[in-house]
Amino acid sequence: MPDQTALKSLTQSIERLAPDFAALSDRIWDFAELKFDEFKSAELLVQTLKQHGFAVEQGIAGMETAFIGQYGGGNPVIAFLGEYDALAGMSQIAGIDEPREGKSGASGHGCGHNLLGAGSLLAAVSLAKHLEANGLQGTVRYYGCPGEEGGSGKTFMVRAGAFSDVDAALTWHPAPFNGVRSTNNLAVLEYYYRFKGIAAHASNAAHLGRSALDAVELMNVGVNFLREHMPQDCRVHYAITDAGGRAANVVQAKAEVLYLVRAPEMSQALALAERVDQVARGAAMMTGTEVEIIFDTAATNLLPNLTLENAIHENLVAIGPVPFDEADIDFARKIQATFTQEAINSSIKLYQIKQDVFSNEKIDGSTPLHTGLRAFEGQSHFRAGSTDVGDVSRVTPTAQCWAPAWAIGTNPHTWQVVAQGRSAAAHKAMLHAAKALASTGLDLATSPHLLSKARAEWEAAMKDEPYVCPIPATVMPGIRASVK
């Protein structure tokens, strides 16, 4: 169990810094910058690190908005992962319970990365100062990780060796619930399939044309037939990114479709992607067109570390529930009223919420904010999302938790997330996560046994399949490359 005296000292210092970091989170919410363009957000985080005495290295792995802040010295090296990118087309006015754009077509923090980045930074700063004040050895690092949304910034950082000497990595994510996040999620590969045909008059010379759009549509049909013959836990989805133009009387000479291929293991994703490639080549053959297969990005499936996850859980138990007040509950109730009962039930099921630690009762969503703590089962469950945290988990023991920044029933990548992103409840959840992560970091710094146990578990899990970065060496961040 956590040292109560040390835990109290650490959490009190976090509370003193809370107003500044809530304001930091809100400013990043205002910026709402997309992947690899998070210049204002990154600079704000970098300046905050420097103000607290961290040495900062910028431009990590060839990404202008990637950076590492470091404080202290010696072992262990403890990493805190921060994200700060937004989502396109997610503009939403904060603090209201109806969809209303702040600016038409603008981006917005539909996954709560403004909170994630600021909360992880608060944990890093607080732990660094605590270690120094108490004469404890250890190196604290904050990793500024850009482009989590479709950019796989962490995967590029891993490929560049940025985590090669890290002993353990910790992070969190806003959610409708409080507790440890132990998941077996999906590896993901993203490819653009760019078809090249021959333009022609669609009426009097159609026989001279070769339609790239026909090829895209045939590929989509072929992949839909493929779905019956792939493992059930795999996912394949697409978006037509270029339909070739708006003129119906022209045979489209170009067209492009983006595919995401997901599977429980990267080896399965690569095998399935090859089958999708074959469908694309077949569509090109049928239409007399050419196809170029262009790699975009990838992320490996998470490797859970139950030792670290249990350590976070014990700290969450010791810290207690998030201190929401009636105003927090009232706003969450208004947000929850925008959901169907099916959505609320689905949220509870998605996060595998079975029992609450503090109340010992089953969670049913009748309280709009989670005021308790999710029970930790000591095992992982399947979740059909993907994250570049997975690549970090393949090179060092990694764990993460949830904090209840959203009303129960909230799904990521929705206007409701953006609307709650600057709320008092979200700030309290961020503070709660910072306490849990900093306290776990302190446990790692003061308990060699905990760290060695986490490392032994990680090594045992990795011994049969060493990590290979899924992004080809020729592919650079934000730059597509033809690979097949």
Confidence tier at 184 by pLDDT (50, 70, 90):
confident
Q: Is residue 363 scored above 80 in pLDDT? A: no
pLDDT at 234: 96
Question: What's the chain's average pLDDT?
Answer: 94
pLDDT at 477: 87
Confidence tier at 188 by pLDDT (50, 70, 90):
very high
Q: Distance between CA 82 and CA 437 in Å, rounded?
A: 12
Contact 291, 214 (CB under 8 A): no
Residue 14, φ and ψ in degrees, nearest 5: -65, -40
Q: What is the pLDDT of residues 303-343, one digit of tens each?
A: 999 999 999 999 999 999 999 999 999 999 999 999 999 98
As a whole number, mean pLDDT of residues 131-158 equals: 96
Instruction: For residue 447, give every residue at least 6 positions away whose Cβ sits within 8 Å of its Cβ, in sequence order, or none.
Output: none
3-state secondary structure of 187: strand
* Least confident among 141-145, 286-290, 354-358, 444-448: 354-358
Give percent of the chain above pLDDT 70. 99
- E strand or H helix at 260: strand 254-263
Residue 77, φ and ψ in degrees, nearest 5: -100, 115
**Pair of tokens at residue 398:** 């990694």
As a whole number, mean pLDDT of residues 171-182 equals: 94
Question: What residue segments make up the domains of the chain, in order of their start?
Answer: 4-185+301-462, 187-299
How many other CB atoms sit within 10 Å of the CB of residue 159? 20
DSSP secondary structure letter of residue 61: G
Q: What is the pLDDT of residues 255-304, one digit of tens each?
A: 999 999 999 999 999 999 999 999 999 999 999 999 999 999 999 999 99
pLDDT at 305: 97
- For 4-185+301-462, CATH gives 3.40.630.10
Domain spanning 187-299, CATH class: alpha beta
| Whole-Å CA distances, 315 to 180, 213, 427 | 10, 55, 19
Contact 437, 452 (CB under 8 A): no
Confidence tier at 1 by pLDDT (50, 70, 90):
low
Q: What is the pLDDT of residues 25-45, one digit of tens each?
A: 999 999 999 999 999 999 999
Model confidence, pTM:
0.94
Confidence tier at 3 by pLDDT (50, 70, 90):
confident
Q: What is the pLDDT of residues 222-238, one digit of tens each?
A: 999 999 999 999 999 99
Instruction: For residue 263, give every residue at least 6 positions away whose Cβ sits within 8 Å of its Cβ, in sequence order, or none.
Output: 186, 187, 231, 233, 234, 235, 269, 271, 272, 301
Q: At what angle do helices 306-319 and 424-446 cross, to 10 degrees?
A: 120
pLDDT at 215: 98
Q: What is the pLDDT of residues 104-121, one digit of tens each?
A: 999 999 999 999 999 999
Confidence tier at 418 by pLDDT (50, 70, 90):
very high
Q: Distance between CA 454 and CA 76 in Å, rounded?
A: 13
Give percent of the chain above pLDDT 90. 86
**Pair of tokens at residue 14:** 């976090």
Q: Is residue 167 scored above 90 in pLDDT? A: yes
Residue type, 222: G
**Pair of tokens at residue 11:** 């959490």
pLDDT at 355: 74
What is the b/e burial string over 50-85, where b = at least 16 CB atoms within 10 angstroms of the residue's CB? Answer: eebebebeeebbebbbbbbbbbbeeebbbbbbbbbb
